[in-house]
Amino acid sequence: QVNDTTRQIVQDALFEALNSVDSAFSSEPSVADGAIVSSQTANTESKKLQFTGDVLEVATQILVQKYGVGILPDANAVLEELNAGDSDARKKRSLDDEDEEENISFVAGLRQKRQSRDKRQGGGGRGGGHGGGKGGDQDGRKKRNSGEQTSGGGGKTEYSNPQSNQTCQGPPKSCSDQVHDRIRSITGYCNNRAKPTQANSVTAVRRLLGTTSYTDGLGAIRSKSVTGSDLPSARLISNKLHDEGSTPNFSPTTNHLGMQIGQFIAHDIIFMPSSTAKDGSSLNCTSCSSPTTVSTNCAPIPAPADDKYFNPVSKTESRCIRLTRALNGQSGFGVRTQIDQNSHYLDMSVVYGSSDCEARSVRSFSNGQLAVFSGMGYALPPQAPNDTNCQSTNPYYCFTAGDFRNCLHPGLLPLHSVFIKEHNRLAVKVKAAQPSWNDEQIYQFVRRVMVAQWQHIVYNEYLPKYLNDKYLTDFNLKPLKPGQGPFRAYDPNMNAALSAEFAAAAFRFGHSQSRQDFARQDASNKSLGAYDLGYNIFYSDQVYQKSLGGWETMLMGLIKTAGMQVDRYFSFPIRNQLFEIRGKNGSGVDLVSVNIMRGRDVGLLPYIKYRTLVGLPSVNTWNDLSSTFTAANIAALKTVYADPADIDLYSGIVMETPLTGGQLGPTASWIIAEQFRALKTGDRFYYENQVANTVGFTPDQIDVIRRVKLAKIFCENTDIITSINTDMFDLNSSQVACSSIPDIDLMKLF
Ligand code: HEM
Ligand SMILES: [Ca+2]
């Protein structure tokens, strides 16, 4: 029970925080959209959360300074009251209009409340807009003319309502609604019926240890060594530990496709948006002083004075690598937290989108088909002429797909195109088999099959390349074999949400696998040259090279060339040229430093804190690392870190000795296995499941999915591939004729 004094204190803190957020950096330089190239662009829904998060962060600081952390539980109780009061008031106003019952929190409505309070007190209101409409609205910029908008069979199979453009996240429906027996929502809503918003798009990430490592315990980036000195700069660490030098280590076993599918998986399950400026545009966090001159959400990374690529700005001004803090999605008083803007589930949101608006933007609304751009004579995702992040110009537009980052580099486009083609290929067959079905019915049916195939490929073909048998078994990650019946381990208490440790560190291991050169090869394995990654970040002209075979020869290149070894070394463009503008050396960032700094930004604990959790002996001295690190790697770590307790999780993970039978060390293996277990046993619609009140596949139908091979999907959706790997990610795989691999037996799935 909280008393009136506390209520007043909390409300005052919120108003004070609002004023402080509104007045801070009021002369903040606004940056034209596209001037700062970034992959982590926040959408409208995320921006709304940022306002609440930023205000609550400051309000928390105010309260803690005055009253200590002891006040926080009471403050949250007050916040709950305030939110409840607001939603009651809204319900009274619009009882008849269920769709409009968007949950506006007290903090979200704070400006209006200040105005009415100021009026009551005779003062004047203040302006200021946050998360507003300036062109940086990702959903807005992607909106297409969607043509015919068929609604589902009498509304029966319909989840999203194409007529209602009110919100990209709804309208929320009751989880007891029958639609949730059959259809996986786009956002993830109601996947867990008891906790409908769990693992939805635009919700917070999980913490493996339940805690964070902010210096002030609330949100300030970890900056000090346990010895009291400053932590080394993330760029210094990258230079000293992660520079591949002149002898790149190619993987003897795994092709470059292994890297590319890994990124595609990442783009399905995690999108952690960056903070935006108050008007919704990009923050320019380039200068080293930006945290005090531009925004507290800037976290630029200092480059050492003798850096080989990022030279000092001038004799007097040192250079920083720009970084914007991940958007603060905290919804209560307490610790800063981050969100995943994509549906956390492994649900092909990378193809279908994670908000209802995004989902509409990739559909054709005719015969269940996804939209395609076919102006080149081959299928590509629909073009996005207004994408301001895109560095290529007319006619080499970037594209609209289920995930905004589809044009981050050209290697993603073959996969986006293949899966769109596969959807449309299956849709044609479904239409022929069920002529009376409408667009919505075909789309939902095919989407369900596509997600099932994708989950099977990830668990059956991808994960076993990286995790050894012990982890696959211990974490229940192996799909059962045909004939073994359904998998009976759905656990409604398992939270499928992404862990911060997986997102900001462990699953970024794949950055180590990327080559500098991306090969093109024709069907007879003849080289058609290669393009340079550093020259093509957010440039899409490569996929328009029709005379070089479009994206099909890029796909062949991924299959036929080696990826880089998973190790502590990163290729030149990854370490120097991310987001570089062509011809402007140093205009980009170092992805490895970004990964390290991102870990500190989101409050990951130092590496050694995870050792007990993942089953390793604890570490007090450098020597204690010797069972999991080579002597050379320990020596290297000593050159940058003052104490083993300082080691950043990312560097620790990529420097551990890989386990026999896998490609990752014990800590990465554990964090990744734990996440994929959550995505499997915490997903009510996982394809091998049979769950009460959920229309799954029958045992025979599950077996149809269990026979699916990624190789066949490539065969069916390309013109040039006629024979293919028996083991899709094995560089040295034997080849078989496409015709010898059976196609999915779709007719069994009706
Ligand atoms: C050429 C290849 C790749 C490029 C250029 C690339 C680039 C990027 C960039 C720019 C970010 C955002 C970093 C930040 O702001 O914190 C990122 C994040 C990430 N990457 Fe990659 N990446 C590549 C491949 C991969 C691969 C192969 C994997 C996994 C196997 C992967 C997993 C991730 C994950 C999990 C994140 C975090 C995503 C998020 O928080 O939204 N990436 N990558
Ligand atoms: Ca997803």
Test site for ligand 1: of 256, 409, 511, 564, most ligand atoms within 8 A of the Cβ: 511
- Which ligand number lies closest to the CA of residue 264? 1
Pocket perturbation via mutation, ligand 1, pick of 591, 595, 653 by most ligand atoms within 8 A of CB: 591
- Measured in degrees and rounded to the nearest 5, phi and psi for residue 383 equal -75, 155
Q: Which of 180, 242, 267, 423 is catalytic?
A: 267
Rounded average pLDDT over 135-146 = 35
Q: Which residue's alpha carbon is at the smallest distance from atom 40 of ligand 1? A: 272
In this prediction, does ipTM exceed 0.90? Answer: yes
Residue 167: the pLDDT is 65
CA–centroid distance, residue 372 to ligand 2 (Å): 21
Q: Of 49, 272, 280, 52, which Cα lies nearest the Cα of 168?
A: 49
Mean pLDDT of 594-608: 98
Judge residue 160's burial from the number of C-beta atoms within 10 Å of its C-beta, 0-12 exposed, 13-18 middle, 19 or more buried: buried
Looking from the CA of residue 341, the nearest atom of ligand 1 is 41
Q: What is the pLDDT of residues 204-213, one digit of tens each?
A: 999 999 999 9
Tokens of 551: 């994206």
CA-nearest residue for atom 8, ligand 1, is 591
C-alpha of residue 419 to centroid of ligand 2, in Å: 15
Among the listed ranges 172-176, 558-562, 603-607, 735-739, which one has the minimum average pLDDT value? 172-176
Residue nearest to atom 19 of ligand 1 (CA): 508
The pLDDT assigned to 159 comes to: 38
Of the pLDDT bands very low, low, confident and very high (cuts 50, 70, 90), residue 111 is confident
pLDDT in tens, 545-591: 999 999 999 999 999 999 999 999 999 999 999 999 999 999 999 99
Rounded distance from Cα 262 to ligand 1 centre (Å): 9
Q: Rounded to an integer, what distance in angstroms lies between the CA atom of residue 568 and that of residue 565?
A: 9
Rounded CA separation 275/42 (Å): 7
Between the CA of 202 and the centroid of ligand 2 the distance, in Å, is 11
The reported pLDDT for the residue numbered 93 is 63
pLDDT above 90 covers a percentage of the chain that reads: 82
Tokens 């982890």, residue located: 471
Ligand 1 atom with the shortest distance to the CA of 411: 1
* Nearest CA residue ID for atom 20, ligand 1: 508
Q: Is the CB of 450 under 6 A from ligand 1?
A: no
Q: What is the enclosing helix (H) or strand (E) of 125?
A: none
Residue 65: the pLDDT is 96
What CA dihedral angle connects 374, 379, 382 and 384, to 10 degrees?
-90
pLDDT, one tens digit per residue, over 2-35 is 899 999 999 999 999 999 998 887 665 567 666 7
212 alpha carbon to ligand 2 midpoint, in Å? 25
pLDDT at 248: 95
533 lines ligand 1 (CB under 6 A): yes
CB 307 within 8 A of CB 339: no
For range 514-532, the mean pLDDT: 96
Q: Binding residue per annotation — 180? A: no
| 570 C-alpha to ligand 2 centroid (Å) | 27
φ/ψ of residue 390, rounded to 5: -70, 130
Asked if 90 and 145 count as a contact pair (C-beta separation under 8 A), the reply is no
- The ligand 1 atom nearest the CA atom of 39: 10
Q: Hey, whose CA ends up nearest to atom 18 of ligand 1?
A: 508
* Ligand 1 centroid – CA 509 distance (Å): 9
**Could you tell me the pTM of the whole model?**
0.93
Which pLDDT band, with edges at 50, 70 and 90, does 89 fall under? confident
Cβ–ligand 1 contact at 40 (below 6 Å): yes
Indicate the pLDDT class of residue 625, thresholds 50, 70 and 90. Answer: very high
| pLDDT(158) > 90 | no
What own/partner pairs with CB < 8 Å and gap ≥ 24 does 215-218 have?
216/61, 217/69, 217/335, 218/57, 218/60, 218/61, 218/64, 218/334, 218/335, 218/336
Residue 280 confidence (pLDDT): 85
What is the pLDDT confidence band of residue 141, given thresholds at 50, 70 and 90? very low
Q: Give, as one character, the DSSP assignment of residue 656.
A: S
Does residue 267 carry a catalytic annotation?
yes
How far apart are alpha carbons 91 and 502 in whole angstroms?
39
Give the list of residues 6+ apart from residue 400 with CB closer than 8 angstroms, or none. Answer: 142, 144, 361, 362, 371, 381, 382, 383, 384, 387, 406
What is the C-alpha to C-alpha distance for residues 60 and 13, in angstroms, rounded to an integer?
8
| pLDDT tens sequence across 441-493 | 999 999 999 999 999 999 999 999 999 999 999 999 999 999 999 999 999 99
pLDDT for position 744:
98
pLDDT of residue 25: 78
Is the beta carbon of 598 within 6 A of some atom in ligand 1? Answer: yes
Pocket lining: 271 vs ligand 1, CB cutoff 6 Å: yes
Note the ligand closest to the C-alpha atom of 351: 2
Question: pLDDT per residue over 703-740, tens digit each?
Answer: 999 999 999 999 999 999 999 999 999 999 999 999 99
For residue 266, the ligand closest to its alpha carbon is: 1
The region, left, alpha or beta by phi > 0 then psi within -120 to 50, assigned to residue 474 is alpha
Model confidence at 259, pLDDT cuts 50, 70, 90, reads very high
CA-proximal residue: ligand 1, atom 1 (nearest): 514
594: Cβ below 6 Å to ligand 1? yes
Mean pLDDT of the chain: 91
**Of the residues 263, 531, 565, 567, which should be mutated to test ligand 1's pocket, given the most ligand atoms within 8 Å of the CB?**
263
Is the CB–ligand 1 distance for residue 266 below 6 Å? yes
Least confident of 42-51, 154-163, 297-306: 154-163
Q: Decide whether any atom of ligand 1 lies within 6 Å of the 263 Cβ.
A: yes
Distance from the CA of 647 to the center of ligand 1, in angstroms? 21
Q: What mean pLDDT is predicted for residues 419-443?
A: 98
Ligand 1 atom at shortest distance from the alpha carbon of 537 = 5
